[in-house]
Amino acid sequence: MLKKTLLFSALFTSTLLFAQNYAKLYPNEDVLTLSLTKHIKIDTKKGKLNITEEVTKKNLFLTNNSLSMANESVSYNTFNTIKSIKASTFNPEEGKYNYVQRFTSKDVVINGIFFNDQKEKSFVFPNVKKGATTHLNYIKQVNDPHFIPAFIIGSNTPIINGQYSVSFPKNVEVAFKTFHLDSTKTTFKVIEDTKNTTYVWHIKDTPKINRHYDFSPLYYIPQIIIHIKSYSHKETVTNVLSQPKDLYRWYTSLIEKNNYSNNDLKKITLDLIKNDNTDREKIERIYYFVQNNINYIAFEDGLNGFIPRDAFQVYLKKYGDCKDMANILNEMLHYAGIDSRLTWIGTRRKPYSYYDVPTPIADNHMITAVNSNGKYTFLDATAKYLTYGLPSPFTQGKEALISKGKFDFEIVKVPEVDANLNVTKIVSEMEIETAHLALKGTHKATLSGYEKLEYLHKLERKDDKNFSFLYFTLKFGTKQTAFNTIEHKNLNIAQQQLDITFNTETKDYVKKIGNEIYVKPNFDYNLKKEAVKHESKAFDKKIDYKLNKIFQTILHIPEGYTLDALPKNVSLENDAFDLRINYKLLENKAAIAIDKTLSIKSLRIFPNQIEAWNAFIKLLNKSNKQSLIFKKTI
């Protein structure tokens, strides 16, 4: 008994010291992951693959401030099911393990996805307090070799010791691709024995995930992506995912049973395009028809998440997810005799190339590509209101895996859309009403490309009682600005350009001090809050799309006043962004012409450009505040 007490006492003391040491090393942390091991075991039996992933995690609670982190869950889905799970808490004061008795299965609702097959086992570590360690171990069965879990090493606790490994027999060929390991303390070794090869990565001191990324964390955090290239059995070699062609072949195997020709949909298609003469007219007609009539509802339901539903059924149901919409568009284009192809793509949330990672992790979206003499036009039916000819903004610059038949495909980069195609131009004529110190204006806004797309999305969601819609959407005017007689022209999606005319009146906008009046003629507030601050400066700034904003304003000098001071012209040019403001007194001395253009010409502002970007924003905001001064003449 004494022995046991001494042992407990020694254990308790050493655990306490050990916790205190970590508390000194990590004074701002409440919880540390002392160790995390993930091991993927690949085996073969009678020519079939058997894959499991075993995860063991040990957390140390340094304080009592985050006891809610005792609430834990392990996710799973159709492709990765949980075979076993156990969890416990070791509380040094008690000197024993308290085991979790109850694990609850839950469906996980993912924002923006109507139905998915993601589930979790949730549980609570018992008796957690400062100094306690929690212990989790689970084994997942990987039910499909195309979905080997990636080691995405991102956690909301620092990981002191991480070990990630994969073992496989000699008849299995495995490849891996690592990302961002160079920023970590990583050692890699290969262990060979008579039966198996094991790749092991040890990573020391992985910091917790940074909360200041603008792009998806996948662009920055350490990752090891493993895929099975092939396996052999009795002289037969089965390719799994060795290169993009394997991925493509697997994708087409999933969809080849689909898409039987449907006479009803064919008739509908032919009827739709009966008055169209050119391919371009037919494509546009069908593209806008799908955009207008099929509503996007996201489903991610196991393998069904990779197989488009029957096109005619989608037509009847009037809804579908991205692959359903891509497929119905593709089918209808085929009926119209257009060379169109189903296309897999990873949106900008995914940083991967198919060449590096020829696995389903590389993509998350499906679109349709139309081939005209070897040149592709990318059509995304989910991007409602997107004008024909432009790819959806979130696919710009990404690799598209384009189907060219059962075995043939092509990987093509989706172009980045030039700023000149995404333009908001507002032409204004403004007058100062000196009696009420008001600024009145008549305006015509012209929007094209993604600027038009964004506007129409917001217009669709607009509340009838939202009188500030133009203020917020065009970023134009002030909160006191009344917007009147608003008229939209060319609201039809097919029109390349949207026109909006409106009048404004902004009371108390003009300052009158003595015999002078001050007025700020730059009426827009674009990019006002876009400076990159503090810790975020270390990371790239994400730009959704390149754009031009043009403001051409004539400001009439009020009667009885003369111009006293004109702000200096502004000019800043850069590879990624420009700003230009010119002020000019018109020859008749009755008005000032202000020409302002700001451009963003890159989808990404790199960390070494952040200072320049901030200077650009600062100059823009400062310029927007510049006043014209008019002096009373009498």
Partner 1 sequence: MKPLVLISFLFTIFTFTASAQLYKYHDWNKTPAFVELSEEESKLPSVAIKEKYLIQYYIATLGNKIRLFETKHNIIRINTDKGIKKHNRVYIPTRNVVKVIDIKARVIQKDGSVKYLDKNNIKELKNVKDYGNFKIFAIEGVTTASQLEYIYTLERNASSLGAVVVQKDYKVKEAEVIIRKPPSRSYRLKPYNGFPDMSFKKVDGGKEALTATIKNIEAMTEEASASPQANRMKVSYQVIGSYVDDYAMWSNLEANIKNTYVAINPSKFKPLIKDYTKYIENKPRETNIQIINNICEYVYGNYNIKRSGENYNLSNLKYIIKSKQATEQGIIKLFSCLFNHENLDYEIVLTSDRNNHKFDADFFSNSNLQIALFYFIEEQKYLRPTYFDSRLNFAPSSTISNNAIFINAEGRRFKIIDVPDASENVVQRDFLITLDTESALPTVQCNHLTTGYRGTNSRGAYKYLKHKDLNEFKNFTAANGIEDAEFLDFKVADEALSLSSENIPFKLNYTYTAESLVEDLGERFILNFGKVIGTQNEFYQEAKRVNPIELGDLITYQYEIKIKIPEGYQAKNVEDAAIDKAVHIEDKLACSFVSHSKIEDGFVIINATEVYNKIYMDIEHYEAYKDVINAAFDFSKKSILFKKI
- Give the footprint of partner 1 on this chain (CB under 8 A): 28, 64-65, 67-68, 70-71, 98, 102, 104-107, 109, 114-115, 122, 124, 126-129, 211, 293, 295, 297, 316-319, 384, 460-462, 464-468, 471, 479-480, 482, 508, 511, 513-514, 518, 528-529, 531, 533-535, 565, 618, 621-622, 625-627, 629
For partner 1, which is the closer residue by CB, 45 or 465? 465
Task: Write down the least CB distance from residue 533 to partner 1, Å.
Answer: 7
CA distance 103 to 456: 46
Sort residue 127 into left (φ over 0), alpha (ψ -120 to 50) or beta.
Answer: left
For partner 1, which is the closer residue by CB, 296 or 306? 296
User: What distances in angstroms separate CA 41 from CA 17, 101, 568, one per listed residue?
Assistant: 36, 27, 68
Identify the DSSP state of 408.
Answer: -
Task: Write down the least CB distance from residue 230 to partner 1, Å.
Answer: 37
Task: Write down the least CB distance from residue 353 to partner 1, Å.
Answer: 33
Instruction: Identify the residue whose tokens are 């700023």.
Output: 419
For residue 75, how far is the Cα from the chain centroid?
21
For residue 564, how far is the Cα from the chain centroid?
49
Q: Take residue 305 and report the two structure tokens written for it.
A: 């998440």
Phi/psi for 380 (5° steps) reads -115, 100
User: Do residues 497 and 446 touch, judged by C-beta distance below 8 A?
Assistant: yes
Task: Write down the least CB distance from residue 420 to partner 1, Å.
Answer: 29
User: Do residues 135 and 87 touch, judged by C-beta distance below 8 A?
Assistant: yes
User: How many other C-beta atoms are found inside a 10 Å radius of the C-beta of residue 430?
Assistant: 22
Task: Write down the least CB distance from residue 569 to partner 1, Å.
Answer: 15
Q: Take residue 452 and report the two structure tokens written for it.
A: 């038009």
Residue 564, helix vs strand vs coil: strand
Task: Write down the least CB distance from residue 269 to partner 1, Å.
Answer: 17
For partner 1, which is the closer residue by CB, 13 or 105? 105
For partner 1, which is the closer residue by CB, 28 or 373? 28
Nearest of 633, 618, 631, 563 to residue 594 by alpha carbon: 563
Task: Write down the least CB distance from residue 536 to partner 1, Å.
Answer: 9
User: Do residues 570 and 521 touch, judged by C-beta distance below 8 A?
Assistant: no
For partner 1, which is the closer residue by CB, 63 or 163? 63
User: Do residues 514 and 629 touch, judged by C-beta distance below 8 A?
Assistant: no
For partner 1, which is the closer residue by CB, 185 or 512? 512
Q: Take residue 497 and report the two structure tokens written for it.
A: 């350009």
Task: Write down the least CB distance from residue 9 to partner 1, Å.
Answer: 18
Q: Take residue 412 and report the two structure tokens written for it.
A: 């093509």
Task: Write down the least CB distance from residue 354 to partner 1, Å.
Answer: 31
For partner 1, which is the closer residue by CB, 468 or 495? 468
For partner 1, which is the closer residue by CB, 35 or 621? 621
- The type of residue at 497 is Q
The strand pair at 80-91 and 133-142 is best described as antiparallel
User: How many other C-beta atoms are found inside a 10 Å radius of the C-beta of residue 604?
Assistant: 15
Rg (CA), the chain: 31
Q: Take residue 12 and report the two structure tokens written for it.
A: 């308790």
| Residues whose CB falls within 8 Å of the CB of residue 230, separated by 6 or more in sequence, listed in order | 172, 173, 237, 238, 239, 240, 242
For partner 1, which is the closer residue by CB, 589 or 625? 625
For partner 1, which is the closer residue by CB, 231 or 385? 385
For partner 1, which is the closer residue by CB, 157 or 223? 157
Instruction: Identify the residue whose tokens are 């000098």.
Output: 557
Task: Write down the least CB distance from residue 502 to partner 1, Å.
Answer: 14
Helix (H) or strand (E) holding 617: helix 610-625
Task: Write down the least CB distance from residue 493 to partner 1, Å.
Answer: 11
For partner 1, which is the closer residue by CB, 111 or 194? 111
User: Do residues 109 and 13 touch, judged by C-beta distance below 8 A?
Assistant: no
For partner 1, which is the closer residue by CB, 176 or 518? 518
CA distance 352 to 346: 8
Helix (H) or strand (E) holding 372: strand 365-372
For partner 1, which is the closer residue by CB, 4 or 534? 534
Task: Write down the least CB distance from residue 452 to partner 1, Å.
Answer: 16
Task: Write down the least CB distance from residue 423 to partner 1, Å.
Answer: 25
End-to-end CA distance of the chain: 105
Instruction: Identify the residue whose tokens are 């396996």.
Output: 231
> What's the residue count for the chain?
634
Task: Write down the least CB distance from residue 138 to partner 1, Å.
Answer: 19
| Residues whose CB falls within 8 Å of the CB of residue 336, separated by 6 or more in sequence, listed in order | 269, 270, 273, 282, 283, 286
